[in-house]
């Protein structure tokens, strides 16, 4: 028995039973909501849409933030750091 009340909304039981159809609808109709006890729990989206929303992982955002910093004139050295003392431990 199908209990889909709103277009694009799937009760969890129906989403599990008709997963292939849910995936097809993601591609033809867009994001599909899966509900539990009538509340949205997850939204299934196409992989391309997920990648677009996640953005490219180039590190450019970090570079932009560092370049916009009012402290960008501080010089940082990438030289060797001080070694921490090591204690001997008997096992």
- CATH code (residue 28): 3.40.1620.10
User: Residue 32 and residue 45: Cα distance in Å, rounded?
Assistant: 7
76 within domain boundaries: no
User: Residue 15 and residue 33: Cα distance in Å, rounded?
Assistant: 9
62 within domain boundaries: yes
Asked if 25 contacts 45 with a C-beta cutoff of 8 angstroms, the reply is no
Give the per-residue pLDDT at 89.
Answer: 86
Taking the model in full, what pTM does it have?
0.58
Asked if 33 contacts 10 with a C-beta cutoff of 8 angstroms, the reply is yes
Count of helix runs (H) and strand runs (E) in the chain: 4, 3
Residues of the domain holding 20: 9-68
75 within domain boundaries: no
55 within domain boundaries: yes
Number of domains in the chain: 1
Higher pLDDT, 91 or 14: 14
User: Residue 49 and residue 52: Cα distance in Å, rounded?
Assistant: 5
Asked if 34 contacts 43 with a C-beta cutoff of 8 angstroms, the reply is yes
User: What are the tens digits of pLDDT across the range 21-75?
Assistant: 999 999 999 999 999 999 999 999 999 999 888 887 778 888 888 889 888 788 8
50 within domain boundaries: yes
């Amino acid at each position: 028995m199908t209990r889909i009340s709103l277009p694009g909304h799937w009760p969890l039981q129906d989403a599990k039973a008709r997963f292939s159809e849910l995936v097809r609808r993601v591609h033809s109709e867009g994001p599909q909501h899966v509900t539990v006890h009538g509340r949205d729990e997850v939204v299934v989206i196409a992989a391309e849409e997920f990648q677009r929303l996640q953005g490219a992982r180039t590190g450019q955002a970090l570079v932009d933030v560092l370049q916009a910093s009012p402290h960008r004139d501080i010089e940082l050295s990438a030289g060797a750091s001080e070694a921490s003392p090591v204690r001997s431990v008997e096992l």
